[in-house]
Each structure stands twice: as C-alpha cells, then as structure tokens.
Amino acid sequence: MRFGVIVLTSIFLASCVAQKPKTTFETVIVEGRALHTDEGIRLSFPGNRLRLATDGNALQFTIAPGGNIELLAVDIRTNGDDWGTVELDRYSPLTIFIDSEDNKLEVDIIRRNEAWQGDIILTEISPRSNFIDPTPFPKSKLLFIGDSITAGTGTQSRINDAGQREAVSNARLAYPRVLGNRLNAQVHQVAYGGRGLVRDWQGITDTNNAPQFYDRVLPDNPDYLWDPADYQADIVSVMLGTNDFNTGIPDRESWVVAYKTFVARIQKDYPKAQIFLISSPMTGGEKGETLKAYVREVAQSFETPQVRYLEVGLYEGEPWDSHPTAAEHEKIADDLEADFQAALNRR
C-alpha cells in the first residue's frame, strides 16, 4: 500500500510531530452538503466527500464526532489509490496522519454513515508543506433523494459483540455513488434512513420526512437551509416509498398529492434538471405493485418528459438484513444507467 493511515490521539501527535503551517480550510472542496463554521466543516448527510491536497508528502487532519453514536467511520483514499476505512472514536476527536511516497498528496474523505448516526466535523488540517488546489470534481451533477437504500445501509456487514452478523452502512458503495463513478459525475446523497414521503417506517408523520430534510444542510436542523443555486443538478433522482408502505398501504389520493407537491418544489429549485421518480428495490408483493402505480401516476401527471418514472428490480438483501447488498446496488445502477446517461447526453 502506498500510504498508511494511523489513528492517534491529538495529545500524542502533538508531542511527536513538528509544528505545521497554519491550518486552513480554504482549499478543501466539498461534494455534498456541509456546514462551514469556526469549528470546521460539519457533515451530516451520507456520502459527503471532502478533497484536499498538498505539494508535500504528508498530511494530518482531525475529525471530531458530532454525537455520541457508535459505528461512525470514513473511507479515505490518497492519490486515487484504493480506499481504506477509519473508524472514528465515539467520544473524542481522532487525528489521522497520512504519509505518501509521492511528492504530491491528494486526499479524499467520504462519510460512510447514515444521517441519524451523528455528524462528523473536520476540525483541523495541517500539511508538511503547502496546501494546493485539489483536482476539481466532475462537471456533471447528480442529486439523489431517498432513505436508507439511497444512503447505502446493508452494503457491508460486521459481526457485533453478540456474535451476530449485522448490516453496516457505506454510502460510497450505494447506487448513487456507483452511478456517479460510471458517469463521471458529482453525487449528492440527500437521504435519511427510516424516513419517507409522508411517514417514517413506524408510521410516524410528525418527523423530518423527505419534504422536511430535502432543503436542509443538516437534516435535523431547520436553521441552515441549502441554496439550490450552489448545486444545479443535471439529474434529480427520487426513490421514496419503502418506509411509507412499511406499516401498510397509504391512502392513494393524499399520498399522490403529497408526492406531486414535492416534485413541484424540486422543479422550482432545479428548473433544468431531468427528474426521475424511481420504484423501491425493497418493496414487493401487493405493496410493491401499489407503490409502483402511485409513483407512475405522479410522474405521468406532470405531462412532460422532464419528469419520468423509472423502475428497478426487486433485491432481497441478506438473511440478516433486507437492504440491498453492495452487489445488488451495482445491479440497481445497471437498471438506471442507460436512462441517466441519455439524460446527461441531452444537456
């Protein structure tokens, strides 16, 4: 491996590493929604990516947890090499030191976890040499609105303390990022596990469902709103309904009206975007067929090719978790790629 990722406590690192130039966030570029504050860059949505670069061969940065939640982790890549995973400490910041044999070091950091698992905050960056501008992200822009499927729940697994296998989220392996890689496009995953269009997986309506978290920088904080002008997507993909249908089939009229209202908001925010309304890869049987009919009705009601219904296959996950696996996310991307590519070609 051409690089190493060493997780250290800040105290230990400060005692054995020479003084570095003043930390700056000016050259860090963000793919996804982020809140920039005096404490650093705060990420809440899954799949958010940071990219930074230096003209030297070493870099250290500190990531702090924004909540007392287990299993927070990031995937890290240097100079386009293989991805590695760093699990974050539940209670205190971790400083990550990266050393490379190359004379230039470019680092990508992707937030793996779901929104409900807590924020992460990039609080400090220090290179051995100077910051430089990193490689820009692709010009094409994709926006994915969804739930735990879009967030990548179940793409990986682990053995827990009880000796049982359980699902682990990795947004980097979910179908939005797969499509982004294939189509050379940026990806925003505006997704929240367990949430729906009008109700969550337990049938609760008084919570932050998609119409609420859609225009937020941090999904649970209404004080910071996202400006669509900052990211005019070429394609907006909406995959919702799995959680709405979990406790039963919702009333057609009210659910369809709510979806139409939501799509109209999206059209206003992204007037030039192709909008795809996508079926659920987890919901089968009578519920699945009804959900498809509802979503198809919504798409057809706009009477424009700008809003289209797309259907993906049904993917059953693993015995320990019904979310699509990483391999099944590749198949979901297969189901969608031709239509996404055609939409980008028409720009």
Q: Are strands 40-43 and 34-37 parallel, antiparallel or unpaired?
A: antiparallel
Residue 10: its pLDDT value, please?
Answer: 36
Residues of the chain with pLDDT under 70: 1-23, 67-70
Closest listed residue to residue 121, CA positions, set 77, 89, 80 = 89
Dist CA 197 CA 150 (whole Å): 14
Dist CA 277 CA 285 (whole Å): 19
DSSP letter assigned to residue 109: E
Residue 14: its pLDDT value, please?
Answer: 31
Residue 164: its pLDDT value, please?
Answer: 86
On whether the CB atoms of residues 53 and 132 are closer than 8 A, the answer is: yes
Residue 9: its pLDDT value, please?
Answer: 38
Mapped onto helix, strand or coil, the DSSP state of residue 84 is: strand
**Where are the CATH 3.40.50.1110 domain residues in the chain?**
140-345
Q: According to the CATH classification, is domain 3-132 in 2.60.120.260?
A: yes
- Amino acid residing at 286: E
Dist CA 149 CA 146 (whole Å): 7
| Paired tokens of 41 | 């860059």
Residue 13: its pLDDT value, please?
Answer: 33
Cα angle for residues 83, 216, 76 (degrees, 5° grid): 10
Residue 12: its pLDDT value, please?
Answer: 31
On whether the CB atoms of residues 68 and 139 are closer than 8 A, the answer is: no
Dist CA 85 CA 111 (whole Å): 10
Closest listed residue to residue 218, CA positions, set 190, 176, 241, 188 = 190
Domain 140-345, CATH among 3.40.1350.10, 3.40.50.1110, 3.30.450.20, 3.40.50.970:
3.40.50.1110
Sole residue written with tokens 């659910």: 255
Dist CA 78 CA 193 (whole Å): 29
Dist CA 263 CA 260 (whole Å): 5
The mean of the pLDDT values for the chain is 91
Residue 69: its pLDDT value, please?
Answer: 67
> Residue 132, class by beta-carbon neighbours within 10 Å (0-12 exposed, 13-18 middle, 19+ buried)?
middle
Backbone phi and psi for residue 342, each to the nearest 5 degrees, phi listed first: -60, -40
Q: Which residues contact 167 (CB under 8 A, 6 or more apart)?
A: 153, 154, 156, 157, 318, 320, 321, 323
**Where are the CATH 2.60.120.260 domain residues in the chain?**
3-132
